[in-house]
Every structure is written in structure tokens, then in C-alpha cells.
Structure 1
Amino acid sequence: MKHGKVSAWTMKGLINVISGSGLSTLSNNLDQSDEEDCEKKDEEITSEWEARAAAYKIFRNVAKPNCKYIDEDDLLRFMKKEEVDNMIPLFEGAAETRKIKRSALKNWLVNVYNERKSLAHSLNDTKTAIEELNKLVSAVVCVGIVVVWLLVMGYLTTQVLVLISSQLLLVVFMFGNSAKTVFEAIIFVFVMHPFDVGDRCVIDGVQMTVEEMNILTTVFLRYDNEKIFYPNTVLATKPISNFYRSPEMSDSVEFAVDISTSIETIGALKARIKTYLESKPQHWRPGHSVQVKEIEDVNKMRMALYVNHTINFQNGDRGNRRSDLVLEMKKIFEDLGIKFHLLPQQVHLSYVQTTASVAPPPAR
């Protein structure tokens, strides 16, 4: 029997021999050994807590005992070199050190769970919207089929046509605005489609997360977990900022220093800020800028630091990174002795004599 020249009868006989000989494949042996020895089944992660627990188990099984990170050698036991090179940059801080910390693995797995959850909700809501649209279109098609059938069978006389036309005009008069609303909502959901479930958006200056999408309405979850229902026809007329679909975003920190601050001190300030940003390449992109915006009242200089994040603002990590940056700048100000002093103010004091303070005349 030559490779590549196996007839159907030969293959059938080979299958019968293997089936009747009691042989089994390697995968079946592995499955049976797992069921008999370990009796473990694949579990689906259904919460962030389970995602953290799964990250802990993965770290414990992959990393060396009593080790605080997973290095490249640990991964090569399970993966190929190319797969390891493609996977390591996915974890925070691992691209430079080639080591994966437990916190980075936990954050990555939690983010994967959240994205998977958002995708499942988005697909579910899309399916629901399509089913509603299918019912609506089916009703219209059924009415059209009935009318065509009546025309073909010759049951539509002039009197019947007049009756149907009058009823149709009445329906258009009663439900014309509703039909227009439904049509605009369908265009917004299926054509414009500015967001998906789980996207963090800004509408009317309020930051919210998309919780549920329907044909007529969209449910948002505000930062305080308050649900807000927006008609899709209203959303179609508003500008919507979508963080999830945005690229890596920038940020700024404004501050003021005293006008007496020397040029050398400002140069040292820029150098210290640059050193800090370069020490955290997993948080900040190169190419920051420290600018002097203006001088106010001849006593202070308004300055601003412009930085580029390595992420967008979808997952809410911006607050922690910005907080660490501001605290580091405060430390730099203290080390360099940068302060801000108000201009001296003139204070005028006047003494007002009251009648109560006048001494009574001496008695005679």
C-alpha cells in the first residue's frame, strides 16, 4: 500500500481492522487517563474572581517553585519559540524583561474575560435585534403576499381596493411617526453602528458603558452604576465618543511654578520627568512634551506636560497611571525645591472709634 494511492475499499478495510482490534488513538488515551486519574473537566470562567483564580493556577503550574515570575524557559516547555515571541509582548512589562509577573498575568486574563463577556453580550443583543427586525419584515412580507394573492385570484374589486386604501391611509396617519422612528433606529443600529456592548462612550459629557442594545433603545451604565435609557433616534443626532475604538490616547497635566524659578531648575525638572517616563515604557510612549504656556500676573508660569498612553481609556487604567505621574511630579517638585509664592498684598488697617469706647464724663 503506497502513500497517496489508497483505494476506498482498502481504507474501509483498514478502518474495520482498527475498529475491531481494540486500538485507540493517543487523544483518546489521554482523555481516558485524565478521566480516570485526575477526573478533571474544563471549566468555563464566568466571573472576574474566577479569572483571577485561573491566573493564579496557571502561574503556579508554569512558573518554577517559589519564583515570582514566568521566564522564557518556562514557556518553551509548552510552546514554540515563535509562539513565545508573539505572546510575551501581550503582558504588561514583559516585552523588555522577557519575564511575566503574576500581576501582569492576572490583569491580562481579566481583560480577556471582560472582552469575551462584552463580545458575547454584543452578539446576543445583535441576535435579538435581528430577530425583532425579522419579525417586522416578516409581517410586512405577509401583508404583501396576501395582497398579491388577492390580485392574482381576482378577489380585489374596485370596492375592496377603495376599502384597503382608506384603511392604509388611516394606518399611515396613525403610525407614520412610529414607522419613521423604527426606520431611523434600524439605520442607526445596523448602518451607523457607533458602538458595541461593553464600549466606554462619552455622550453629552457623561462617561458611560454600553450595557444593552435594542432596535429602539440603548441601555447605558453610568460610572455610579445608574442605568440610562437612550432612544436610538436621539443618539443618532448626538456626537458620540467611543474609547474602545480609539487608538492610543494622550493626556496632559497642567501646573504652575513661581516666576523666580531658574532656567536650570526647569531643565532639571524636564530631565527628571523624562527619566520617569522612560522608566515605564509599558505605560507611556516616547515623545512627551513639557511646555510653558504663559506667564500670569508676573508671578507665576503656567506649564503643561503632554504624554501619550500605551492604551486607550476603555478599561479605566488611565486614572491609576495619571495618579502615579502626578505623585511623581510632586516628589520632583519637592526634591528640586520648586514652589509657588503669591505676590505680596497690601493690607490697610484703620481704627474706628465707637460710642461704647468713649469714657463717660466725670460726675460733679
Structure 2
Amino acid sequence: MNLTVAIIIFYIGRTLARGVSTLIGKALLHRKVDRAVVSFLSSIVYAAILIAVALIALSHLGIQTASFIAILGAAGLAVALALQGSLSNFASGVLIIVFRPFKAGDFVDVAGISGVVERIDIFQTVFKTGDNKKIFVPNSQITGGAIVNYSAEPQRRVDLTIGISYDSDLRKAKQLLEEIVAADPRILKDPAAVIAVNALADSAVQLIVRSWVQSTDYWQVYWDTLEQVKLTFDQEGIEIPYPQMSLHLRKEEKE
């Protein structure tokens, strides 16, 4: 009777392990996780459930499983200590896959690196920089710091600070900036751009230009707007000053 129960438990447990493994695999594939990563995680889940089922079946046969559990625990502890760094990267890789702070193709800034995510592996993530270099970053370094995902939202705001001389016409400068922004079809009308005086600095009146664009147009609009501001201000006589300081000398006569 005990042998029959043990066989039934093992058979049902193995079926359950396959079902859970398949379910997890489908869920990860639905979230567009790499197939190699999905296969690896599914195998780990299947093996863990199968070991637990085997121990339960052996206990119904009257075999003391405490020694097996102790051996497995000791072996697991030894492996964990030997692979402490790798396990940390593995756990971080699982967190990245589950919570998805970024995905392949996103432009992000993590661990002091800015680049496009090429691939998310179990132990590391591969990035490609703007100058076409591949960088392999351990996953523990990624989850241990701040993650800036520039591709998470479809729209981004372009922030520019333009300084003009105190002798220049402030109203004219603002009007020219409004015309530059309105003439660029890539700059969105809603939300509307903001042009305002930001500060009366030591050597210039600082104007801010905040406009919204599609994330894919961000850098091109940033560069083109700066170039257009310089050309237009030069043509219209609006001075962009150098950092400078005014000195007033006073001469005192002695009696």
C-alpha cells in the first residue's frame, strides 16, 4: 500500500511539476523574455518541484528523508557560498525579467553606462553604446543602483537654457524663441512649449525653452534648436554674452 501511494504521489507530482513549469514558461514568453532564459528558469522550477515530490514519496515508503534534506541543504549552502556573486547576478536577472524596468531596444542609463539594451541574460545584460561598443554589465550592478529609462514614455521634454546680454531686447529675444519653436513641426503643440525668464545671472539674462517632442526626435530637435537660436540671434542682433564681471575702480584722495 505504501509503495502504491508513493508511486501515485510521484506520478501526480511529476505531472504538477511539468504543468507549473510550462505555465511559467508561457507567462515569461508572453512578456517577451528571451527563450533561452525561459527554458533555463522552467528547468529550475521543474527540478525543484520534482525533488520535493521525490522526498515526499520516499517518506511514504518509510525512508527517513531527514538525512537527504540535510545533505541537500549542506550541498546547497556550499554551492551558494562558492557562487555567491553568480547567484546575486542570477537573482538580479530574475528581478529584471519579472519587473521589467526596461526591455530590449530601450535606451537607458544604468551603472554609469548609457546605451541601448541589446539582450537580457540570466547573469548579465548586454548594452550597445552610441559609438557601437558592446558592454556586458553584471545584473547585480544594475539592480543595485538607479535605472533611468529614456524610452519608457513616448514623449520627452527638451530643456534648453539660453543666455542673452543685459543690453539686448528681452521681449524681442522671447519672440524670436517662440518663432523658432513654432516653425519646427517636430515640436508638439500639446503640451505647449514654455519660454520664460529663468534667472538674472551674473553675466546674462537666462531664458528657458521647454518643449515636448517624440522620444525618437529628442536629440535631433535639441541640436537643431540650439543651432537655430545662435543663427537667429546673430542675425537679429541679440547678444549671447561671455561670462564676464564688471569692476568699478574708485580713487580716494588723501588730505
TM-score by length of 2: 0.72
In the aligned structure 2, how far is the partner of 1:218 from the partner of 1:149? 40
In the aligned structure 2, how far is the partner of 1:232 from the partner of 1:343? 49
Counterpart secondary structure, 1:169: helix
Equivalent in the alignment of 1:201: 108
Any idea what the Cα deviations from partners look like across 1:258-306, whole Å, max 9, x if unmatched? 2222xxx22111112112211224324423213241231xxx2141332
Kindly tell me the number of residue pairs found equivalent between the two proteins: 211
Where do 1:97-108 residues align within 5 Å? none
Could you tell me how far 1:136 is from its partner in structure 2?
0.8
Higher CA-based Rg: 1
Give the one of 172, 180, 197 matched to 2:76.
172
Question: Aligned partner of 1:305: which letter?
Answer: I
Where do 1:245-324 residues align within 5 Å? 245-261=152-168, 265-285=169-189, 286-296=192-202, 300-312=203-215, 315=216, 317-324=217-224
| Conserved? CA contact 2:198–2:208, under 8 Å | no
Equivalent in the alignment of 1:147: 55
Could you tell me how far 1:329 is from its partner in structure 2?
0.9
Equivalent in the alignment of 1:127: 35
Question: Aligned partner of 1:306: which letter?
Answer: V
Could you tell me how far 1:175 is from its partner in structure 2?
2.2
Distance 1:183 1:301, change over 3 A: closer
| Conserved? CA contact 1:288–1:307, under 8 Å | yes
Any idea what the Cα deviations from partners look like across 1:153-204, whole Å, max 9, x if unmatched? 33x14xx633x244223213212355853344323321x2101100110114
In the aligned structure 1, how far is the partner of 2:205 from the partner of 2:164? 7
Counterpart secondary structure, 1:132: helix
Where do 1:1-364 residues align within 5 Å? 123=32, 125-154=33-62, 156-157=63-64, 161-162=66-67, 164-177=68-81, 178=83, 181=88, 182-190=90-98, 192-261=99-168, 265-285=169-189, 286-296=192-202, 300-312=203-215, 315=216, 317-339=217-239, 340=241, 342=244
In the aligned structure 1, how far is the partner of 2:93 from the partner of 2:152? 21
| Conserved? CA contact 1:199–1:243, under 8 Å | yes
In the aligned structure 2, how far is the partner of 1:269 from the partner of 1:302? 11
| Conserved? CA contact 1:254–1:302, under 8 Å | no
Question: Aligned partner of 2:160: which letter?
Answer: V
Could you tell me how far 1:133 is from its partner in structure 2?
0.4
In the aligned structure 1, how far is the partner of 2:38 from the partner of 2:125? 15
In the aligned structure 2, how far is the partner of 1:319 from the partner of 1:222? 15
In the aligned structure 2, how far is the partner of 1:230 from the partner of 1:323? 30
Question: Aligned partner of 1:319: which letter?
Answer: W
Any idea what the Cα deviations from partners look like across 1:107-132, whole Å, max 9, x if unmatched? xxxxxxxxxxxxx9x83x43322211
TM-score by length of 1: 0.52
Distance 1:280 1:172, change over 3 A: same
Any idea what the Cα deviations from partners look like across 1:297-355, whole Å, max 9, x if unmatched? xxx2141332222212xx3x322212221121112211221223656789xxxxxxxxx
Structure 1, unpaired ranges of 5+? 1-119, 347-364
In the aligned structure 1, how far is the partner of 2:246 from the partner of 2:201? 17
Any idea what the Cα deviations from partners look like across 1:25-58, whole Å, max 9, x if unmatched? xxxxxxxxxxxxxxxxxxxxxxxxxxxxxxxxxx
Distance 1:187 1:330, change over 3 A: closer
Structure 2, unpaired ranges of 5+? 1-28, 249-255
In the aligned structure 2, how far is the partner of 1:147 from the partner of 1:343? 81
In the aligned structure 1, how far is the partner of 2:233 from the partner of 2:73? 75
| Conserved? CA contact 2:165–2:238, under 8 Å | yes
Could you tell me how far 1:210 is from its partner in structure 2?
0.5
Give the CA RMSD over aligned residues: 2.7
Counterpart secondary structure, 1:310: strand
In the aligned structure 2, how far is the partner of 1:143 from the partner of 1:174? 18
**Which one scores higher on RCO, CA 8 angstroms, separation ≥ 6?**
2
Distance 1:185 1:282, change over 3 A: closer
In the aligned structure 2, how far is the partner of 1:184 from the partner of 1:345? 58
